[in-house]
Amino acid sequence: MKAVVIEKQGGPVAGNIRSVRDWQAGEDGPGPGQVELRVLTSALNHMDIWVGLGIPGVDLTYPRVSGCDCCAEVVRVGAGVDEAWLGRRVVVNAAVRQPERVHPDDPTGATLAPEYRLIGEHEHGMHRESLCVPAANIACIGDADPVQSAAFGLVSLTAYSMMCTKGRLRPGQTVLITGIGGGVATIALSIAKWMGCRVAVTSRHQEKLDRARELGADLGILDEGQDWSREVRSWTAKRGVDMAVDSVGRPTHMNCIKSLARGGAFVTPGNTGGPRVETDQARIFWNQLRVLGSTMGTNDEWREVVALFRAGHIAPVVDSVISWDRGAEAWAKLEAGEQFGKIVLDWR
């Protein structure tokens, strides 16, 4: 089948990307509880870079197909799956929840947070023309545009879970989003505006701040390494923001903590700028801040966020659409950090 393949580990990842027509998937069709999909479009995430570079603690073999997002049509169903799925256009939640540990010495019998295996990380992903996935992880998107649909998935689930479920964002609050331009950051802006929030964004690039303004951002801060928390607090009449959404990490963490109002939430789904951060624990406990890590989301949250997408309440930002046979070009653009929004591969 057609696929975009990471041939070996190492960076720049774009140099190891090949678009091929003879990928051997090793799948004999959908198993029990699965569906087989014909991919129309797939979208890149920063995970596609991490898979190419190698992820500590994850046993990755190469060549490898990554990809955590796609829009596809159901072409076959496995045992136990309703045939009503056939022909439906769907999107896929790449986060496959794992069975909870059951042990006689566990005090509660359940973990405090779910464990996931990610399609596109722990197993071959969605940058190929066909694949099999659990039926529990798909959701219908009707006649929605395949490009928008592919760009919508993982980043929207990630942002929705961390902001609405874990962070308990409420309508009318104030939100800070760092590194505007990435997929999670742009959909976080969309979610916050849908909830009637005032939003401040940061970026190292003025053109990205200008684009964010067009999408509804109320304050844009050009990050040149300064302590921009003072500007955020001034914007909120010294109160601080209710939520800081940070997927950058080391370069922005401390400014986020200093920007939060009493009782505010710092939420993070990743750290593209490095995981080792300096923080202020005294500020955290005196101001009763909440520091929350978030990874992907449940299938219940998936259905909720897909419903918002179908209703037109939230929408992804698409930077560019690139034919699948120019895969290396897509990876190069993602590695350069030039995009504003999502990069989508077209398989049609």
68 and 189 share a domain? no
Does residue 309 form part of some domain? no
Q: Which helix (H) or strand (E) holds 230?
A: helix 229-235
pTM of the model: 0.91
**pLDDT band (50, 70, 90) for residue 282:** very high
Query: Could you tell me the CATH number of the domain that includes residue 28?
Result: 3.90.180.10
CA distance 83 to 77: 7
Tell me what pLDDT residue 105 has: 79
Q: How many CA atoms lie within 13 A of 4 on its CB side?
A: 32
Tell me what pLDDT residue 83 has: 97
126 and 161 share a domain? no
Whether 26 and 69 have beta carbons less than 8 Å apart is answered as no
Whether 180 and 209 have beta carbons less than 8 Å apart is answered as yes
Which of 8-22, 50-64, 120-134, 252-266 shows the lowest per-residue confidence on average (mean pLDDT)?
Answer: 50-64
**pLDDT band (50, 70, 90) for residue 109:** low
Does residue 151 form part of some domain? no
55 and 111 share a domain? yes
Could you identify the residue written with the tokens 């990876």? 331
Tell me what pLDDT residue 188 has: 96
Whether 289 and 266 have beta carbons less than 8 Å apart is answered as yes
139 and 10 share a domain? yes
**What does the angle CA 39 – CA 124 – CA 27 come to, to the nearest 5 degrees?**
75
Tell me what pLDDT residue 108 has: 67
Tell me what pLDDT residue 102 has: 77
Mean pLDDT along residues 124-149: 96
Whether 310 and 153 have beta carbons less than 8 Å apart is answered as no
Say how many domains are in the chain.
2
Mean pLDDT along residues 188-202: 97
Mean pLDDT along residues 142-157: 94
| Beta-strand runs (E) in 2-161 | 3-6, 17-20, 34-43, 69-77, 89-92, 95-97, 116-118, 130-134, 138-140
86 and 37 share a domain? yes
Tell me what pLDDT residue 58 has: 83
**pLDDT above 90: residue 183:** no
Does residue 279 form part of some domain? yes
162 and 245 share a domain? yes
Q: Which of 51, 71, 211 is closest to 153 using CA atoms?
A: 71
Does residue 189 form part of some domain? yes
Does residue 98 form part of some domain? yes
- Alpha helical stretches, state H, the chain: 47-53, 146-160, 183-194, 206-214, 229-235, 253-259, 281-286, 299-310, 327-336
Pairing verdict, β 138-140 and 89-92: antiparallel
Tell me what pLDDT residue 56 has: 76
**pLDDT band (50, 70, 90) for residue 274:** confident
| Beta-strand runs (E) in 269-317 | 290-293
Q: Which of 293, 308, 330 is the last residue of a domain?
A: 293
Tell me what pLDDT residue 90 has: 98
289 and 174 share a domain? yes
The secondary structure of residue 88, as a DSSP letter, is -
**pLDDT above 80: residue 107:** no
Tell me what pLDDT residue 110 has: 65
**pLDDT above 80: residue 264:** yes
**pLDDT above 90: residue 111:** no
Whether 45 and 158 have beta carbons less than 8 Å apart is answered as no
Which residue range(s) make up the domain with 175?
157-293
Does residue 238 form part of some domain? yes
**pLDDT band (50, 70, 90) for residue 289:** very high
Mean pLDDT along residues 217-231: 97
Does residue 312 form part of some domain? no
CA distance 241 to 175: 6
CA distance 335 to 312: 30
CA distances (Å), 319 to each of 138, 283, 306, 345, in order?
Answer: 25, 38, 21, 11
The secondary structure of residue 165, as a DSSP letter, is I
Q: Rounded to the nearest 10 degrees, what angle do helices 146-160 and 183-194 cross at?
A: 80
CA distance 274 to 179: 13
Q: For 80-100, write each residue's pLDDT tens digit.
A: 999 999 999 999 999 998 887
Q: For 293-327, write each residue's pLDDT tens digit.
A: 998 899 999 999 999 999 999 999 999 999 999 99
Does residue 177 form part of some domain? yes
Mean pLDDT along residues 148-160: 95
**pLDDT above 70: residue 213:** yes
For the chain, what's the residue count? 348
CB contact set of 99 (below 8 Å; sequence gap of 6+): none
Q: Rounded to the nearest 10 degrees, what angle do helices 146-160 and 299-310 cross at?
A: 130
128 and 168 share a domain? no
Mean pLDDT along residues 243-267: 96
Q: Which of 340, 326, 324, 335 is closest to 1 using CA atoms?
A: 324
17 and 86 share a domain? yes
137 and 13 share a domain? yes
Which of 211-215, 269-273, 301-305, 332-336 shows the lowest per-residue confidence on average (mean pLDDT)?
Answer: 269-273
CA distance 237 to 120: 44
Helix (H, G, I), strand (E, B) or coil at 177: strand
Q: What's the sign of the alpha-carbon dihedral 94, 99, 105, 108?
A: positive
249 and 323 share a domain? no
Please report, rounded to a whole number, the percentage of residues in the chain having pLDDT higher than 70: 99
123 and 169 share a domain? no
Q: For 13-50, write each residue's pLDDT tens digit.
A: 999 999 999 999 777 899 999 999 999 999 999 999 99
